[in-house]
Homo-oligomer: A and B are copies of this chain.
Amino acid sequence: MTEEQEVFHRHIQRAGLKRTAQRDLILEVFLRTEEHLSSEDLYRLVQKEDPEIGQTTVYRTLKLLTDAGLAREVRFGDGRTRYEHNYKHPHHDHLICTSCGKTIEFYSEQLETIQDAIASKHGFETTHHTLRMFGSCSDCRDSSGTPKKEESAAEPRVRFASAPSTH
């Protein structure tokens, strides 16, 4: 049993909830996938191993994982919620390519410091923040006019059919 699984089970017990095969499987698949997954993405992956599992259970479990501190919600502007690992995968911000949908994670101590200073100047105590920078990645600019993925040229806004992220 991995550390994450232990965290999950402790959370489940603390909250008076129950351990089930579905939750175990969903967690397992989530952990092994290093991407920004929407509930639907995860549902499809989980389906391959157990076609009996329902969408609803995935939605509910993802919420549970978030409560347990194992997942973190991220939104890239296409209207669907994605989740990323939140255990031993510390805070970071995102660069989002609006043409191919690729995301790059980065962390800057300097940035954090300035943000803290700004917040306290305004009397705020911040719990968390999100910084998203939208633009075009070098790949997409190199092949100018021919974005990497075929569907991307059609949609000016950020919209990815499925979440292709590279960490």
Contacts and interface: CB of A to CB of B under 8 A. Distances in A.
Give the most central of A69, A90, A110, A165: most B CB within 10 Å.
A165
Interface residues of A, number: 50
Copies in the complex: 2
A127 B129 CA distance: 20
Contact of A137 (B72, B123, B128): B123
Contacts of A106: 118, 122
A162 interface: yes
A123 to B, nearest CB: 3
A137 B115 CA distance: 15
Nearest to A92: B167
A138 B114 contact: no
